[in-house]
Amino acid sequence: MEYVTLNNGVQMPILGYGVYQVDAEACEKCVLDALSVGYRSIDTAQAYGNEEGVGNAIEKSGIPRSDIFITTKIWITNAGYDKAKKSIAESLDKLKTNYIDLLLIHQPFNDYYGTYRAMEEAYKEGKAKAIGVSNFYPDRLIDLAHFVNIKPAVNQVETHVFQQQKVAREVMQKTNTQIMSWGPFAEGRNNFFTNSLLQEIGKIHDKSVAQIALRFLIQNGIVVIPKSTQKERMIENFDVFNFTLSDEEMESISALDTGASLFFSHQDPKTVERYMSILD
């Protein structure tokens, strides 16, 4: 396993297992499978409704808690200092742990300044080893980083071969914030799994399109958390450390970047209204 060092010195695996859209009942088994494969970083969130499954799996795995890196995120309905503080305690209880390795604000909406104050407090109390954000575009990241006491260690954003976040990564370097990818396979959009360039490079290395895409992100220093409920896919996604893409291959994949989201923009009024409707 390769690691990245966060801005406070914490070591984080560059490859982890994500449980977004993993059914609450299936989550425990999936995480146990992932841990048996070798994953030691698990990414969940309050909004996923499966923190209990993650906690149960880690407890049953027999793997020392100190060997596992847990990420969870505070949802917008829990925004604000008081609600966020309460939700952190609830997440700790569901995850069956007394600390979270990485605690993130899930969305850049509602009172995220109050949420961040609660996270800073949790950090100082040892309940969170690192804190950061998710889905924060450069403007909001710069603004938040300017006013908080503990700079965001991580920003988890949509990142894949078609949206490489080149501008955002430049900003994150200035704030010393580690980029973390969600949707490393673009959820199959834009004919991801049949992309001719990725297939061609995959044949050279005897690797799948998914493995080539993950390797590209990893070689760019991007933390990835691919999700699959199938153990054989978990094994495949984990098998990306025994080859290296050439400079020419990296450059050709870099050219796939469109600089645009394949999902939605957090700066689109319709997107913001949709998130606000959750609070109504």
**112 classed as catalytic:** no
Residues, the chain: 280
Percent of the chain with pLDDT over 90: 99
Gap between the Cα atoms of 196 and 190, Å rounded = 12
Domain boundaries along the sequence of the chain: 3-279
Q: How confident is the model at residue 183 (pLDDT cuts 50, 70, 90)?
A: very high
**106 in a known ligand binding site:** yes
Q: Choose the catalytic residue: 17, 39, 48, 123.
A: 48
**pTM of this prediction?**
0.97
Per residue in 118-134, pLDDT (tens digit) is 999 999 999 999 999 99
Rounded CA gap, 91 and 237, in Å?
28
Instruction: Classify 128 as helix, strand or coil.
Output: strand
Check: CATH 3.20.20.100 for 3-279? yes
Residue 150, both tokens:
């503990």
Phi and psi angles of residue 149, each rounded to the nearest 5 degrees, phi first: -85, -35
Determine the Cα–Cα distance for residues 117 and 119; give it in Å rounded to an integer.
5
pLDDT of the residue at 72: 98
Decide if 58 contacts 70 (C-beta within 8 A): yes
pLDDT above 90 for 19: yes
Who's near 265: CB < 8 A, 6+ residues apart? Answer: 271
pLDDT digits (tens, 9 = 90+) for 46-77: 999 999 999 999 999 999 999 999 999 999 99
pLDDT digits (tens, 9 = 90+) for 232-262: 999 999 999 999 999 999 999 999 999 999 9
Work out the average pLDDT over 102-115. Answer: 98
Mean local confidence (pLDDT), 2-18: 98
pLDDT for residue 128:
98
Per-residue pLDDT at 280 exceeds 90: no
Average pLDDT over residues 170-189: 97
